[in-house]
């Protein structure tokens, strides 16, 4: 599978999941999946990741689009054989685009995964956030291992 295939796949998974939540739950409503540890809680996040607020929704959208172009630049600079890096960036791109779509159409991002114990809860997030996080971890792993050409053919 070509790494760029992940971009539309992650966007579809993200946007379909958000549509399911938006049309089946009311804002602020929670649904226990695994007790209180894992719940679906429908919120709109006007801020950035983890609820950080950088200003108006327009500022968040502009910053997101600029970051998107930076990610495309990074992708294009990976060597063809640096497959893991391309997969990592593709996950980040797909997740970023998923949240940008929300910002453009809703002015906010739909979040719904709610994980934690009692009052100790992780900020509510969505699939796009998860894809970005996994992609970043892939890139960190590649960088920390010093093996940028990790999947080069061993011919």
Catalytic residue set: 111, 129
Beta-bridge partners for 39: 32, 114
């Amino acid at each position: 599978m070509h790494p760029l295939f992940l971009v539309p796949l992650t966007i579809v998974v993200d946007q379909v999941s958000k549509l399911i939540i938006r049309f089946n739950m009311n804002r602020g409503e929670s649904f226990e999946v695994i007790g209180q540890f894992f719940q679906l809680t429908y919120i709109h996040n006007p801020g950035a990741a983890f609820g950080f607020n950088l200003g108006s929704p327009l500022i968040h959208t502009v910053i997101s689009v600029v970051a998107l172009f930076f990610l495309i630049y990074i992708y294009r600079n990976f060597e063809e054989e640096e497959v893991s890096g391309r997969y990592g960036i593709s996950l980040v791109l797909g997740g970023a685009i998923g949240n940008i779509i929300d910002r453009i159409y809703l002015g906010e991002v739909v979040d719904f995964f709610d994980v934690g114990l009692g009052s100790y809860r992780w900020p509510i997030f969505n699939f796009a956030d998860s894809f970005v996080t996994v992609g970043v971890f892939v890139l960190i792993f590649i960088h920390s291992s010093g093996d940028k050409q990790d999947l080069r053919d061993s011919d």
